[in-house]
Structure 1
């Protein structure tokens, strides 16, 4: 059977797109250079110690109906593992953990922010719109909410969750929901009020979940439905436009493999994609080369509960950029999901590096473990050493939506309009979360299916007008 659409890369972007196209009857294939599926998504279970860890994404946070529908259609809904209802979360404040208030009264009483900062927050509805197209997260938050909210709250989210620098990250790209509220309603407060009151019936609650067996179950479930279409150890080495389509060459264990396809989808990281495209579109290649990535090290520590003085029954903590700790954030996985740690033990997954401390990627395993252990001794009252430890390192963990990101994306799309049938689907476009990747996959699948239907209709019309009629 002729392959109509070829997807390069079997991470969540590639697999989600392939699944959507296959379900619609599209002829599709997936080439993956490695020997396993999932990209950075991988769940590891240590049968000796009893700990279950995630190498990268640890859960899905969803508030979009498209993702809910996708989970239903793929059968993943029945595999969901909802996170524990614990609401406690913490920030480091002056070297100590402080609980983040989740109510208005708690916000007014918390020592996290000064009274001038709290009053400044209450003035948000009266702040005029004065943003600009390339406004950074730091500029946006200071303008709307004040400096303390950036320094002690949202800055921690940007650097801890997205591994980015709030002083460089694009507000429109990183905080699309907040910037959209300002554009539509004039203020964040008015926007939130309108959504809660006027759109309450349409609003979706944010739900956090993993899957039975961990995040790898997401990859495995998608792969089952398209197993015959996936080809591992197929490394794309050459791409060229040819006859209204694309000629591709891959290196495989049995030699070179060539193929012509009408649609080519590249889900590879920006630097790798740039190398593939540089021979026929240098400007596009240079735009992709300019996208930077943050390195990330994840240090998992298994600890006996009796060896920790601080309560670890919440979601974890984030670190504001001005705090002097190497840990950007810590997720208390034993508290979020069942069966992540043996009885009477806790599992703390700590995130290091990012744009805040990129040099950490050069540390060896022991240095990472020692640094995290020392900081948790101060923050959590950890006594002694961890009972178990594991480190996952990613030199190119997350793309940074820094600088004139939106302008760069517009230029990339302009270049792509010159190449019919070529699509870029990496997480450097449209968001880095699993939720974002599923949404982008559905959007791209609809574009390709619409194009295919149009092509089929044109072909049928052409045949009808050229077939001679015998009388």
Structure 2
């Protein structure tokens, strides 16, 4: 007799969960039937690749990092090895816009901490007094153990200038929202560990870089697929053999009767032996309000911020020359955008010959505008950065309301509270960006782990029933 798994959410976490569950069930000899329910009319979540007039546009994330292996491992499993591509060579690869000029990001940063003193001493991004203040990190006392806002942590160790002109631009491009309020322990536990072990972020980073080099295959830190990350979504969908996909289906609540889960959707109900909930935390909070009120309360405590991207196409002869792959905005530059990517310089074959493709990223309050307002704001900032009144031939806008979970102080405790509450409800698993990492590799790892855990539970349940 077949056992039933319902996966709620068709982003990369949900698709990875269904894929991993099918594989684990085959290995266990389990007759598994999966239903994947997605509230929107498309799969992929924030991974959205659009093809328009030979332009390849990423509406959400545009890359995965190579040193977190889970995304690349999945691509290879799905037969996409030959489609994996790295960024075009560029040194320096990225700049920071400060006081009206573009300055290279110093080489050798360990996340946001200098691991080489020479580039830090030479960079104009930090003044001489700011560099002297950063050097105090070498003999400052350790802080008491415990969490604190990441902005407070970096300012305490390295000073305000390093935070505003280096760390905030880099972190804001990853997490969106207010980077100052990020939980240090949830978002950057490795940096807190350096303080605890070495008593200094700089000393710890220097020691780490002596021990190992950053993982860069072919000199490229970032990877994608030749036709965009949407190829991964398509490959996952095509790999599912025993999964029924239902789009435009919103789950309203969960109920548990005996060992059976009842999954209520608008206009009906499904029964399942296990559930993987891979939709955002606020959707999980609503669905679990009755069956797991303690978990729902903690889920409601995970805030979300808005995000948006705006892509522009320009005739190449009408756009000024640029260096590297892109530019980030320093904290006090007054720009609405977090930064710009020179897409045609970062990736091969993303724009037809004779065109430049530029992508702006906005988050937080700046991303809450209409599509027209977002396009105007991004273009105004682009003109400031390049120093010319450029006019795009094409514009594409992608909006992600409540698209970015925010790991604020106390995030680890909230996740622990959720996990403790769900341990009392066998057969229910949560996955996604809201819990253990916002990057695509972590989301894939999380989804796959949930799918495998669900099958392990179902296998044990089936064997118990047989006895």
With the length of structure 1 as denominator, give the TM-score of the two structures: 0.88
Q: CA deviation at 1:243?
A: 1.5
Work out which of the residue numbers 278, 281, 284 in structure 1 matches 2:289.
278
Q: CA deviation at 1:452?
A: 4.3
In structure 2, how many angstroms separate the alpha carbons of the residues matched to 1:146 and 1:423?
A: 41
CA deviation map 1:242-299 (0-9, x unaligned): 2224122334xxx6352232x2111111221111111223332222223221112211
Which residue does the alignment assign to 1:436?
Answer: 442
Decide whether aligned partners of structure 1 residues 313 and 3 sit closer, same or farther in structure 2, where only a CA change above 3 A counts.
Answer: farther
For the residue of structure 2 that corresponds to 1:172, the secondary structure is helix
In structure 1, how many angstroms separate the alpha carbons of the residues matched to 2:282 and 2:119?
A: 45
Query: Would you say the 8 A contact 1:41–1:54 is kept in 2?
Result: yes
For the residue of structure 1 that corresponds to 2:120, the secondary structure is helix
Q: Comparing 65-74 with 436-445, which one deviates more in the overlay? A: 65-74
Decide whether aligned partners of structure 1 residues 42 and 337 sit closer, same or farther in structure 2, where only a CA change above 3 A counts.
Answer: same
Q: CA deviation at 1:448?
A: 3.5
Which residue does the alignment assign to 2:280?
Answer: 269
Query: Would you say the 8 A contact 2:7–2:276 is kept in 1?
Result: yes
Q: CA deviation at 1:457?
A: 5.6
CA deviation map 1:115-173 (0-9, x unaligned): 23223334434333204423110121112222211111111122233113133111111
Which residue does the alignment assign to 1:256?
Answer: 268
For the residue of structure 2 that corresponds to 1:101, the secondary structure is coil
In structure 1, how many angstroms separate the alpha carbons of the residues matched to 2:182 and 2:149?
A: 5
Query: Alpha carbon RMSD of aligned pairs, Å?
Result: 2.4
Decide whether aligned partners of structure 1 residues 278 and 385 sit closer, same or farther in structure 2, where only a CA change above 3 A counts.
Answer: same
Q: Does 1:361 align with 2:368?
A: yes
Query: Would you say the 8 A contact 1:158–1:165 is kept in 2?
Result: no
Work out which of the residue numbers 181, 204, 214 in structure 2 matches 1:168.
181
Q: CA deviation at 1:38?
A: 0.7
Which residue does the alignment assign to 1:403?
Answer: 409
Which residue does the alignment assign to 1:96?
Answer: 101
Q: CA deviation at 1:218?
A: 0.8
For the residue of structure 2 that corresponds to 1:444, the secondary structure is helix
For the residue of structure 1 that corresponds to 2:181, the secondary structure is coil
Query: Would you say the 8 A contact 2:85–2:223 is kept in 1?
Result: yes
Mapping for residues 61-140 of structure 1, pairs under 5 Å: 61-88=65-92, 89-102=94-107, 104=116, 105-140=118-153
Query: Would you say the 8 A contact 2:177–2:363 is kept in 1?
Result: no
Structure 1 gaps, min length 5: 464-471
In structure 2, how many angstroms separate the alpha carbons of the residues matched to 1:29 and 1:125?
A: 55
Query: Would you say the 8 A contact 2:9–2:38 is kept in 1?
Result: yes
Q: Does 1:183 align with 2:193?
A: no
Structure showing greater Rg = 1
In structure 2, how many angstroms separate the alpha carbons of the residues matched to 1:238 and 1:194?
A: 50
Q: Does 1:143 align with 2:126?
A: no
Which residue does the alignment assign to 1:332?
Answer: 342
Which residue does the alignment assign to 1:466?
Answer: none
Q: CA deviation at 1:455?
A: 4.2
In structure 2, how many angstroms separate the alpha carbons of the residues matched to 1:207 and 1:99?
A: 17
With the length of structure 2 as denominator, give the TM-score of the two structures: 0.88
Q: CA deviation at 1:190?
A: 4.2
Decide whether aligned partners of structure 1 residues 370 and 199 sit closer, same or farther in structure 2, where only a CA change above 3 A counts.
Answer: closer
CA deviation map 1:3-36 (0-9, x unaligned): 3432111100011122122112252332223332
